[in-house]
A and B are shown apart, each in its own frame.
Chain A
């Protein structure tokens, strides 16, 4: 994977109607404040305007934050986005992967453990789980509470971003429930100072992640958070692979079975776990 979600991750979902300032100005400030990923989601804009906006946001995020486009793989590619984000019931992850390749992100919104499990199995790189708290973005949605994060994190190992009414004070319980980060809209865009709002959210995420130290790794092309200091052998055990005929390479170096106990997983390790398959 050439792009990877950092841990902890602060994502911003756009809604230009909720901006106090202009959208671009708000996004620029939010990135300066520490937003890691920007999801362009302006469903009512016509495609031509949307593409123009997407290109501007791409330029603005380039080298500073990940940029994903909502719902449309072709437009995502056209604007040079880092990936695409799908709602729960639209868009095929397999087809998107075919167009985007392994080097770009595919995210999906989910609302329960079953959908999280399915999207994880389909190969999503991250999932946005909601609606956690009451939110003005979705006035009709029944808030599910942080239990939904816990439920989803039991169902899948794919990184989970909590969405829906997330504010700074909620971050500790979300991260404690197994979230990889949080996605917000009004909390940043609706703030008087979007940069400051982002800074506070990011600080809360960092503090909560320090209390539950994880390192972000990529395993067979998929993003995973594992406890800091976990050794490879323990991780293989967790995957049910410790006594299977598998081989492991980390960052392109083969790890001999004898050194699995001593090799601790580190931030941004790229792990390949292989086995024998039918072949000629």
Chain B
């Protein structure tokens, strides 16, 4: 990676273009190892009620959170109002002004509500949050969000946790073409090839959770995702050639020595 190729969000620079979720790891050790191997600098956390009857460790006890930009999410919010409330709670924890806005009315498909997301983002941008909205790969919505001042847009590749890869490729291409803020492809990336493709088409970063946490060896998958993101980024910066319909030989066509009698 060129030394000057930083991901910049809200004035902060990051070397890594891979963000990782902290959910669904089988153990804190596995999570730490995966975060470490992935080289990520931004990690997402959720906000939930403390269980008053159980020991009160939280996810931040498991990682060295001074090393990471903490990105709380509003997961669980079904409406704009709930998302705004969760965002304010996250801010009151004193860890981060950043917020990943998720407004998801339905637990089966887990698809984000575009109207609720836009409403919540308007309020949170006004309140000074660094807002990273999770959206469907809708170019019109992405453009409206960046217009109101979100720090990124985070379109999904395919449904959350599905590992189906880039099902929204065409929408993502348009979002990237129109973007003035970093486009973070979030949700549904299943393998390093998915992450690489997202980066090849010009995404600024990828956010991955399930594909890493759900691998048999999360640390190794974390590293693989890092390499996939880096490969895709380098490919994007290198200016790849366009595909052609017909073959074009890589070796000279002239000067071939053939058996006697042939020409």
Query: What residues of chain A have their CB less than 8 Å away from a CB belonging to chain B?
Result: 120-123, 157, 219-222, 239-241, 244-249, 252, 254-257, 272-280
Contacts and interface: CB of A to CB of B under 8 A. Distances in A.
Interface in B10-56: 21-25, 31, 44-54, 56
Contact of A245 (B48, B60, B88): B60
Interface stretch (B69-77, B112-120, B229-237, B241-249): B69-77
B92 A257 contact: yes
Interface size range on B against A = 35 or more
A278 B46 contact: yes
A280 B70 CA distance: 12
B196 interface: no
A274 B48 contact: yes
B93 A278 contact: no
Contacts of B21: 278-280
Contact of B24 (A220, A248, A255, A280): A280
A46 to B, nearest CB: 37
B24 A247 contact: no
Contacts of A255: 92
A249 to B, nearest CB: 6
Nearest to A120: B53
A255 B75 CA distance: 21
Interface in B76-134: 85, 88-95
B50 A279 contact: no
Most B Cβ at <10 Å: residue of A220, A277, A278: A278
A96 to B, nearest CB: 16
A71 B1 CA distance: 66
Closest 4 CB pairs of A and B: A279-B46, A280-B21, A280-B209, A247-B92
B108 to A, nearest CB: 17
A247 B209 CA distance: 25
Given A252-B85, A254-B89, A276 B75 contact: no
B59 interface: yes
Interface of B: 21-25, 31, 44-54, 56, 58-60, 62, 70, 72-73, 75, 85, 88-95, 160-161, 207, 209-210
B92 A254 contact: yes
Contacts of B50: 220, 241, 246, 273-275
A247 B45 CA distance: 14
A58 B263 CA distance: 103
A249 B86 CA distance: 10
B26 to A, nearest CB: 11
Given A245-B95, A249-B89, A254-B89, A278 B52 contact: no
B47 A280 contact: no
Nearest to A244: B56
Most A Cβ at <10 Å: residue of B53, B56, B58, B161: B53
Nearest to A224: B52
Contacts of B85: 249, 252, 254
B56 A277 contact: no
Nearest to A158: B53
A69 B22 CA distance: 42
A276 B56 contact: no
B90 A247 contact: yes
B174 to A, nearest CB: 25
A256 B91 CA distance: 9
B160 A280 contact: yes
B92 A277 contact: no
